[in-house]
Homo-oligomer: A and B are copies of this chain.
Amino acid sequence: MQIGMVGLGKMGGNMAERLRRGGHEVVGYDRNPEVSDVPSLKDLVDSLAAPRTVWVMVPAGPPTHATIEQLGELLSEGDLVIDGGNSHYVDDQKHGAQLAEKGIGFVDVGVSGGVWGLENGYALMAGGSEGDIRRLWPVFETLKPEGDGFVHAGDVGAGHFAKMVHNGIEYGMMQAFAEGWELLEAADVVKDVPGTFASWRHGTVIRSWLLDLFVRALNEDPDLSDLQGYAQDSGEGRWTVQAAVEHAVPLPVITSALYARFASRQPDSPAMKVVAALRNQFGGHAVASKEGAHAKGADSPGADVAPPREVS
């Protein structure tokens, strides 16, 4: 079928390509003229036959809000907008209501698969009406992987909610592997750490795509010495925790994984300054001062246990 694709970055560009390979007619728009098929969003809309289908694949937040608002002005009754980005599910509900006022349909789709999706297909979690989902089926069928990586999760918002929780689980799994690796390296009982991870790909309980990817990373850099211990978060981990707090659901693993990322971005932990200050106050414990020198003692980074004769 004919589809407009707004946003031709790493994700949108590859998805447009996969759709074309699958026989669909894709008109792509990107603000970068070098990759765009048309000079403006208006031209994109004009180039599609009604009823139109426009897939939005731009960053969540203001860029998506702006794109959907513009589309609301440009499109007509009976057209259909899909938000395939990483929007918050609450925003979907707003966007859906906004477009519905003009008789324009709205479907939110959580998309997983990263840079591998072009070849392997994209896992899709969709939220919207039965009718809109059915109408989009040819598109979903082309994008999704073999097997059945598609779910109609529920009403508008449910697609991104599912994707949000998927990412929360992903945070927890990644951190579980990360902690296991750190312990293996620190304890130095296992001498072949990369070989151990490689062996786990077969027959174990923890075999998984993330493990496959980690073994791939270790093949390139066996002790990860080229990397900094620093990780961004994409927003969905935060939303997962906030949704959990709202619903009184305890989420210790996913939250710990999120906090580990927060902490990894702090060159110096503010909270630990307080702990250092308190230790100094009550115990005369040495503290590591800014100058790198130590205020009052033998306490030194790297030593595992506090200095003698300080009893708190």
List 6 A–B pairs whose Cβ atoms lie within 8 Å, in order of A's numbering. Answer: A120-B203, A158-B191, A176-B253, A224-B273, A229-B276, A230-B288
Q: Kindly state the separation between the CA atoms of A77 and B105 in the bound complex, as whole angstroms.
A: 47
Which residues of chain B come closer than 8 Å to A252, judged between CB atoms? 175, 179, 252, 256-257, 259-260
Q: Kindly state the separation between the CA atoms of A36 and B86 in the bound complex, as whole angstroms.
A: 52
Contacting A202 at CB < 8 Å: which of B89, B121, B170, B282? B121
B189→A89 contact, CB < 8 A: yes
Nearest CB of chain B from residue A302's CB, rounded to whole Å: 7
Which residues of chain B come closer than 8 Å to A258, judged between CB atoms? 245
Which residues of chain B come closer than 8 Å to A260, judged between CB atoms? 250, 252-253, 269, 271-272, 275
B208→A209 contact, CB < 8 A: yes
Residue A53 lies at the interface, judged by CB distance under 8 Å to chain B: no
Q: Kindly state the separation between the CA atoms of A311 and B177 in the bound complex, as whole angstroms.
A: 20
The contact size tier of chain A is: 35 or more
Which residues of chain B come closer than 8 Å to A226, judged between CB atoms? 289-290
A306→B208 contact, CB < 8 A: no
Q: A203-B112, A250-B262, A275-B174 are in contact. Are A213 and B310 (CB under 8 A)?
A: no
Residue A74 lies at the interface, judged by CB distance under 8 Å to chain B: no
Which residues of chain B come closer than 8 Å to A225, judged between CB atoms? 290
Residue A71 lies at the interface, judged by CB distance under 8 Å to chain B: no
A181→B271 contact, CB < 8 A: yes
Nearest CB of chain B from residue A58's CB, rounded to whole Å: 7
B224→A274 contact, CB < 8 A: yes
Q: Kindly state the separation between the CA atoms of A45 and B232 in the bound complex, as whole angstroms.
A: 53
Residue A24 lies at the interface, judged by CB distance under 8 Å to chain B: no
Which residues of chain B come closer than 8 Å to A137, judged between CB atoms? none
Q: A199-B149, A202-B146, A288-B227 are in contact. Are A275 and B175 (CB under 8 A)?
A: yes
Q: Kindly state the separation between the CA atoms of A277 and B231 in the bound complex, as whole angstroms.
A: 9
B191→A282 contact, CB < 8 A: no
A279→B231 contact, CB < 8 A: yes
